[in-house]
A and B are shown apart, each in its own frame.
Chain A
């Protein structure tokens, strides 16, 4: 399977602990996204990388959250000092930059299975 993979699939932690999630995108994709999804809601954008450069961060991404994509391949999302409100599904997606510019909406994102975080 050459799709987007995420590890771990599930994580239970105690409040105040740090957690780190990993995303491996589709190999030829240079864009990588992180989203958070809570029950009954659609995914909410957190941040996005073009190769190794982190180009956008949502205001949802507090200073306890940090994401890296050191070599433009896999990415990690770390949450420090977790809070119960951080409990959610964390989704990663990747896409390939369209050549010659992108009209609004032509990009297709491919999502991983997500990491479900429960903070006790």
Chain B
């Protein structure tokens, strides 16, 4: 199971682009990379998932370099409502390998 490392916290201002990088040096060949967002007193919410290169949806973009040893979640033009904890998960299989680390606590300031 690939271990992930991400910053504990980040601050940003409204309207800025935020990039959160996750390191996963021992990612396996078949592993996907998934990001979840969690607001206080709510369950985590799926944001985006990718395997390689770039994935974009209406919420975020996910950049994955060729060696796949890291990934970057990019949130364009953040607002106050993007203040949350963001979790990077790698090598998820169903069951108890669905492992959340402490995540990155993003604070968006006015």
A-B pair count, CB < 8 Å, reads 77
Cβ-defined contact, B46 with A56, below 8 A? no
Cβ-defined contact, B87 with A107, below 8 A? no
The 8 A-B pairs of least Cβ separation, nearest first, read A105-B32, A111-B43, A42-B100, A105-B92, A56-B95, A45-B96, A104-B31, A43-B100
Q: List 25 A-B contacts (CB under 8 A).
A: A33-B98, A40-B102, A42-B85, A42-B99, A42-B103, A48-B95, A48-B96, A89-B41, A95-B94, A103-B30, A104-B28, A104-B91, A105-B31, A105-B89, A105-B90, A106-B49, A107-B94, A108-B34, A109-B98, A110-B46, A111-B42, A111-B43, A111-B44, A113-B42, A116-B41
User: From residue B28, how far is it (CB to closest CB) to chain A in Å?
Assistant: 7
Closest to B46 in A: A108
Cβ-defined contact, B89 with A112, below 8 A? no
Cβ-defined contact, B30 with A104, below 8 A? yes
Q: Which of A's residues lie within 8 Å of B, judged by CB?
A: 4, 31, 33, 40-45, 48, 55-56, 58, 89, 91-93, 95, 102-114, 116
Q: Which of B's residues lie within 8 Å of A, judged by CB?
A: 28, 30-34, 41-46, 49, 85, 87, 89-96, 98-103
User: From residue B25, how far is it (CB to closest CB) to chain A in Å?
Assistant: 16
